[in-house]
């Protein structure tokens, strides 16, 4: 089965937050919970100009090496589907937080209302219907959020950067 991943070209992001809004609307996340989060690393001087770098944190699913959160969960709350989507079952989560420090992208959050962990489930309910995840479905104004086969995405990003350097 084809592996699916969410890959973000951080260098192309300019911090519009459209992905955060789309995710929140699609998933109805509680106040204060962001399943995808845009942070700012900057400003800084680069080649004499003011520059910003935005860091978009979300679960990378099939692109995450070894998916350590799955193995850290003592309750088998986190699983990997055949297509590589990493899914958390909030109904079985006990809130032990064992998965939180294991996430290499800092994408697992504690919901302050329910006191359980939450993460991006790659809008698998949309994917199962043949749709794109909400954050990747033409809402990203910088076109820096990619969804699909990790190898194909890496090649597309490399080609895009080559064209920008030319």
Burial class of residue 19, CB neighbours in 10 A (0-12, 13-18, 19+):
buried
Contact call for residues 153 and 143 (beta carbons, < 8 A): no
Instruction: Give a three-class secondary structure readout of 129-147.
Output: CCCCCHHHCCCCCCCCEEE
Instruction: Give a three-class secondary structure readout of 47-64.
Output: CCEEEEEEEEECCCECCC
pLDDT tens, position by position, 111-158:
888 899 999 999 999 999 999 999 998 898 888 899 999 889 888 888
Q: What's the confidence (pLDDT) of residue 29?
A: 85
Measure the CA–CA gap between 22 and 76, rounded to whole angstroms: 29
Q: What percent of the chain has pLDDT over 90?
A: 48
Asked if the model's pLDDT at residue 91 lies above 80, the reply is yes
10 Å Cβ neighbour count for 143?
12
Domain range annotation of the chain: 5-165
Q: What's the confidence (pLDDT) of residue 164?
A: 66
Asked if the model's pLDDT at residue 84 lies above 80, the reply is yes
Asked if the model's pLDDT at residue 81 lies above 90, the reply is yes
pTM: 0.84
pLDDT tens, position by position, 17-66:
999 999 999 998 888 889 999 988 777 777 787 777 888 889 989 888 88
Classify domain 5-165 at the CATH topology level.
Answer: Alpha-Beta Plaits (3.30.70)
Q: What's the confidence (pLDDT) of residue 166?
A: 59
Measure the CA–CA gap between 144 and 97, rounded to whole angstroms: 30
């Amino acid at each position: 089965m084809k592996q699916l991943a969410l890959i973000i070209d951080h260098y192309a992001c300019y911090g519009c937050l459209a992905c955060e809004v789309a995710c929140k609307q699609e998933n109805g996340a509680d106040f204060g919970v962001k399943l995808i989060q845009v942070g700012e690393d900057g400003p800084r001087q680069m080649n004499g100009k003011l520059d910003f770098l935005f860091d978009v944190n979300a679960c990378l699913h099939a692109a995450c090496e070894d998916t350590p959160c799955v193995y850290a969960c003592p309750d088998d709350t986190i699983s990997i589907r055949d297509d590589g989507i990493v899914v958390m079952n909030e109904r079985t989560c006990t809130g032990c937080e064992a998965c939180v420090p294991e996430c290499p992208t800092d994408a697992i959050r504690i919901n302050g209302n329910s006191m359980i962990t939450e993460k991006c489930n790659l809008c698998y309910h949309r994917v199962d219907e043949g749709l794109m995840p909400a954050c990747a479905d033409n809402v990203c104004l910088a076109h820096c959020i990619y969804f699909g086969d990790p190898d194909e995405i890496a090649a597309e990003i490399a080609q895009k950067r080559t064209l920008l350097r030319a």
